[in-house]
């Protein structure tokens, strides 16, 4: 009994400290705008540092990363420049995108620090873990697109059609294709984190996601069929399987978020 009383007293003290901290740090609309401004400035400074670092190693990024997939397929794709400033624009896109990926942990950290004042003290200690998970999900999507999706697609493009037509792709079109593929894959891999917060706020539930699992499978197969350049089932499975796993992982994460939400409601009651 004494242990139980001490536990109740500690919970009341924690709750009072949370309320006191929230009341003491209550921010006006102007304060929120000022906080947003400084977070944006810090995020842009981090992006600038990433862009400068990528600019220093621009040649290596272009030759060893961006152009490498086009050279490793058989036959290799021939990339051409059709405008006088084409290579300048191409290098600028490589440096900016590389800087964005490199500085993504810092940018995500600034985003969550802006959200932090709206969280309880117990929730704020998980900011670093949330930033880490969000960054890992995004980078995992980028890696999947670069090492798996991009070679498959380029190989199909290089071998499709008659051999009498030589594929000579504009460097701007090539970079646009690579950029869209990488960023889209990175965003898709954020599905578990999105599911966590939607479930945390009660917008979706694990039961809802399980109920519409068959619909999600159909949507995933449609996406895989559209994105996959070939029609064989093996290639479609390569693209669809990660999305299946992400959806199932999202259900599991949503269940954890819902349980925490119910525990928080019970504690308030």
Whether the predicted model's global pTM rises above the 0.85 cut: no
Same domain, 111 and 167: yes
14 belongs to a structural domain: no
Name, of 9-13, 150-154, 159-163, 197-201, the range with top average pLDDT.
150-154
The tens digit of pLDDT for each residue in 83-95 reads 888 899 999 999 9
Domain count, the chain: 2
Helix or strand holding residue 80 (H, E): strand 78-80
> Which value, to the nearest 10 degrees, does the dihedral of the CA atoms of residues 163, 165, 169, 173 take?
-110
Same domain, 234 and 215: yes
Same domain, 36 and 160: yes
Q: How confident is the model at residue 26 (pLDDT cuts 50, 70, 90)?
A: low
Q: How confident is the model at residue 37 (pLDDT cuts 50, 70, 90)?
A: confident
23 belongs to a structural domain: no
Same domain, 204 and 137: no
- Reply yes or no: is the peptide bond before residue 75 cis, omega within 30 of 0: yes
Domain closes at, from 140, 164, 189: 189
> Which value, to the nearest 10 degrees, does the dihedral of the CA atoms of residues 215, 219, 221, 226 take?
160
Q: Please state the three-class secondary structure of 159-212 as a single string.
A: HCCCCCCCCEEEHHHHHHHHHHHHHHHHHHCCHHHHHHHHHHCCCCCHHHHHHC
Q: Average pLDDT, whole number, for the chain?
A: 81
Around 177, how many Cα atoms within 13 Å sit in the side-chain half-sphere? 18
9 belongs to a structural domain: no
Mean pLDDT of 254-261: 82
12 belongs to a structural domain: no
The runs of H, that is alpha helices, within the chain are 2-24, 29-56, 58-61, 68-72, 86-102, 104-115, 121-124, 127-144, 150-159, 171-188, 191-200, 206-211, 213-227, 233-268
Q: Whole domain around residue 101: which residue ranges? A: 31-189
Model pLDDT, residue 75: 82
Same domain, 110 and 203: no
Same domain, 184 and 86: yes
């Amino acid at each position: 009994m004494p242990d139980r009383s001490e536990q109740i007293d500690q919970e009341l003290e924690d709750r009072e400290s949370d309320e006191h901290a929230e009341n003491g740090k209550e921010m006006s609309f102007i304060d929120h705008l000022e906080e947003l401004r400084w977070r944006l400035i810090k995020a842009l400074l981090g992006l600038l540092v990433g862009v400068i670092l990528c600019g220093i190693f621009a040649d290596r990024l272009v030759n060893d990363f961006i152009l490498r997939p086009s050279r490793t397929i058989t036959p290799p794709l021939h990339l051409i420049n059709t405008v006088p400033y084409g290579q300048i624009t191409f290098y600028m896109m490589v440096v900016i995108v590389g800087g964005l990926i490199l500085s993504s942990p810092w940018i995500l950290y600034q985003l969550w620090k802006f959200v932090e004042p709206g969280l309880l003290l117990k929730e704020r200690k998980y900011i670093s873990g949330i930033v880490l998970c969000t960054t890992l999900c995004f980078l995992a999507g980028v890696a999947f697109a670069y090492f798996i999706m991009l070679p498959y697609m380029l190989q199909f493009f290089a071998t499709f059609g008659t051999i009498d037509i030589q594929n000579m792709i504009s460097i701007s079109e090539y970079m646009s294709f690579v950029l869209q593929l990488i960023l889209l894959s990175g965003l898709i891999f954020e599905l578990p984190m999105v599911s966590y917060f939607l479930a945390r706020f009660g917008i979706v539930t694990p039961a809802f996601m399980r109920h519409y699992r068959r619909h999600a499978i159909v949507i995933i197969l449609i996406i895989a069929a559209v994105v996959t350049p070939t029609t064989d089932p093996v290639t479609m499975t390569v693209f669809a399987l990660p999305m299946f796993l992400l959806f199932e992982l999202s259900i599991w994460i949503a269940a954890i978020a819902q349980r925490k939400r119910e525990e928080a409601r019970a504690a308030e009651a």
